[in-house]
């Protein structure tokens, strides 16, 4: 949610800022702006709407700072406090115009700060919580920018990732974070600041991630880091392993379609070097578990939100079935607030593509505080969840730009299956069974490729239902979370009201809504309970609801019963969520494309949810 870019160097700042903001579009936003400092003044250009409109305004701007500055900050805003308009857009300035700031997060006590400033004659002009912070920094300024930032942040309650500059000290940028990510890119004779590594990848591979309550002061001489008490801190320089070209669409119409087609290679990267066929197990060194450690786990709790939670549900089934131990999945925000019962023998697995999801991060901290062993499954190296858990598994899926998650989901499922295999082999799973499962995991990229070969057939089915307003997805067992994920994908990008249900729940309410223009996507793959789900699909047909049947390859008997069929490769039940999910991703994509929707940046959605 929201995006930050800052630049300090020798090149034209406005060009780098706008390009960086373009690379952050996928995070979701409704307004954007930049501010540059030059020759003793700060100039700001901002507007509601898309980056392309901001680019035009910047290119046409006669402002000297915009034309000449080599220092600046930029922001894409996703509205929380106040409408998406030019006044509420970032960067914000203080009343004197000498300070400018960009902010991600939420200032919880902004009303109290606003009232305190008003008593000193300082009136805010926007509706945002963010503006009060730059006004407070200006109020605290006594000749040293970092001291003013430090003093102001000590009075703040909430979350923030900020970059501040002032024309009083034009040779300096100050960045700070608490709960909202900030990464510094270290280039040659230049330093970049961003909320997401994708904004700085074209310029450098060396990154430093700020931790909570860190503050970085960037000057021409380099960078210094402190805590809010101004004590020096050291943070590791990390190498970013993503290819900048991976964040471009290339020949594809949308990032989402590109990322759907990247899944075979992404899954290969996720499983590469992590399967030991000789021992019939998985090698997940990042977990830092010996076989004895794994054998001591009595329960696995998986926490996540949205797509990550659905991947965790697949893992829940696999761990219970293979390892014979209790596994549970919790929505991370619920876990955070319900005072869960946790013991030292529990393993809490936090799943987050970005590694910055606010509710999941809070669940990690709660689990650690209660004494559990905590591991993370993340895609972004150096992300907060990865650092705070201290153990876990990186997906290595590469950057995922489309807001609707695709390759992250299938890679998360792949990792959960390997985790289940590792735990199961320390318990009751025999060597031969472990090897067989490992071979099937190894084959998952091939299974996905077979689904992608059916793109045209899935597109033909999708076009028949592009005008529907409602849809249901039903499945059982391992396919229940896939039904939830399929419905989520459809509603995210096509704006069709879609719901996923366990097939057994159909008669407990949803069947009342069936009619001839309400398609039901029935997951009829060859898994336990298939016959029951088939009976539910027949009930839908009897009520004139069209059924799209997803069936296993070779199951002609069921395929012949339905006019609309999507075929996925036949594979074991625990493996089938991966190819089935890819088929549903294609279905959702082609429906959304036929409806003319903004697929990569759906309305109201953000890629990384870093606030509650």
Give the three-state DSSP class for 163: strand
Backbone angles phi, psi at 216, to 5 degrees: -115, 135
Kind plus residue range of the DSSP H or E element containing 265: helix 263-271
Which string of DSSP letters, residue by residue, matches 28-43? --SEEEEEEEETTEEE
Give the three-state DSSP class for 525: coil
Evaluated on CA atoms 249, 252, 256, 258, the torsion sign reads negative
Length of the chain: 612
Q: Residues 2, 124, 540, 574: which is the catalytic one?
A: 2
CA distance 27 to 408: 15
Backbone φ/ψ region at 591: left (φ over 0), alpha (ψ -120 to 50), beta? alpha
Give the three-state DSSP class for 93: strand
Q: Are 596 and 184 in contact (CB under 8 A)?
A: no
CA distance 265 to 327: 29
Residue 58 tokens, joined: 């910047």
> How many CA atoms, within 13 angstroms, populate the side-chain half-sphere of residue 7?
29
Q: Are 510 and 519 in contact (CB under 8 A)?
A: no
Residue 341 tokens, joined: 């019962």
> How many CA atoms, within 13 angstroms, populate the side-chain half-sphere of residue 593?
18
CA distance 521 to 539: 13
Which string of DSSP letters, residue by residue, matches 214-231? EEEEEETTEEEEEETT--
CA distance 138 to 124: 12
Residue 317 tokens, joined: 């089934």
CA distance 514 to 300: 38
Neighbours of 72 (CB within 10 A): 31
2 in active site: yes
CA distance 28 to 96: 31
CA distance 405 to 395: 13
Q: Are 1 and 59 in contact (CB under 8 A)?
A: no
Active site residues: 2, 607
């Amino acid at each position: 949610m929201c995006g930050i870019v800052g630049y300090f160097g020798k090149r034209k700042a406005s060009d780098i800022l706008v390009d960086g903001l373009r690379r952050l579009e996928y995070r979701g936003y409704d307004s954007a702006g930049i501010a540059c400092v030059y020759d003793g003044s700060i100039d700001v250009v901002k507007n509601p709407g898309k980056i392309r409109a901001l680019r035009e305004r910047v290119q046409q701007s006669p402002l000297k700072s915009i034309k000449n500055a080599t220092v600046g900050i930029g922001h894409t805003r996703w509205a929380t406090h106040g409408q998406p308009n030019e006044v509420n857009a970032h960067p914000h300035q203080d009343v004197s115009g000498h300070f400018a700031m960009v902010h991600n997060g939420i200032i919880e006590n902004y009303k109290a700060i606003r009232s305190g400033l008003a008593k000193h004659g300082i009136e805010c002009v926007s509706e945002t919580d963010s503006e009060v912070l730059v006004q407070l920094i200006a109020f605290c300024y006594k000749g040293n920018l970092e001291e003013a930032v430090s003093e102001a942040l000590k009075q703040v309650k909430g979350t923030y990732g900020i970059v501040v500059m002032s024309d009083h000290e034009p040779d300096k940028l100050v960045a700070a974070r608490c709960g909202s990510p900030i990464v510094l890119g270290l280039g040659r004779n230049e330093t970049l600041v961003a909320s997401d590594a994708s904004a700085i990848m074209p310029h450098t591979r060396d990154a430093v991630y700020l931790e909570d309550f860190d503050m970085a002061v960037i000057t021409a001489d380099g960078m210094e880091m402190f805590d809010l008490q101004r004590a020096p801190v050291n943070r590791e320089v990390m190498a970013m392993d993503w290819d900048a070209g991976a964040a471009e669409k290339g020949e594809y119409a949308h990032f989402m379609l590109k990322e759907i087609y990247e899944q075979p290679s992404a899954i290969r990267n996720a499983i590469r070097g992590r399967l030991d066929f000789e021992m019939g197990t998985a090698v997940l060194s990042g977990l830092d578990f010996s076989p004895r450690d794994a054998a001591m786990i009595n329960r696995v709790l998986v926490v996540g939100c949205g797509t990550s939670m659905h991947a965790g549900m697949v893992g829940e089934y696999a761990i219970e079935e293979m390892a014979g131990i209790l596994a549970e999945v919790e929505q991370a925000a619920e876990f955070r607030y319900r005072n869960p019962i946790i013991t030292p023998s529990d393993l809490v697995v936090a799943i987050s593509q970005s590694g910055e999801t606010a509710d999941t991060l809070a669940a990690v901290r709660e689990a650690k505080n209660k004494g559990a062993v905590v591991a993370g499954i993340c895609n972004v190296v150096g992300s907060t969840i990865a650092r705070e858990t201290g153990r876990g598994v990186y997906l290595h899926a590469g950057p995922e730009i489309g807001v609707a998650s695709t390759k992250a989901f299938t890679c998360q499922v792949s990792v959960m299956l390997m985790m289940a295999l590792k735990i199961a082999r320390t318990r009751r799973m025999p060597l031969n069974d472990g090897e067989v499962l490992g071979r099937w995991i190894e084959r998952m990229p091939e299974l996905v490729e077979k689904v992608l070969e059916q793109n045209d057939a899935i597109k033909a089915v999708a076009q028949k239902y592009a005008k529907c307003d409602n849809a249901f997805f039903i499945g059982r067992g391992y396919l229940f979370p896939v039904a939830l994920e399929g419905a989520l994908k459809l509603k995210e990008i096509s704006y069709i009201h879609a719901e996923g249900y366990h097939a057994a729940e159909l008669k407990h309410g949803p069947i009342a809504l069936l009619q001839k223009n309400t398609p039901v996507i029935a997951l009829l793959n060859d898994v336990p309970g298939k016959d029951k789900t088939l009976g539910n699909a027949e009930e839908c047909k009897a009520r004139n609801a069209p059924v799209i049947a997803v069936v296993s390859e070779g199951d002609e008997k069921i395929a012949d019963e339905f006019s609309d069929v999507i075929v996925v490769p036949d594979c074991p039940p625990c493996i089938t969520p991966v190819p089935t999910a890819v088929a549903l991703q294609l279905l959702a994509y082609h429906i959304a494309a036929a409806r003319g929707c903004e697929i990569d940046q759906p309305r109201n959605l953000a890629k990384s949810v870093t606030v509650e």
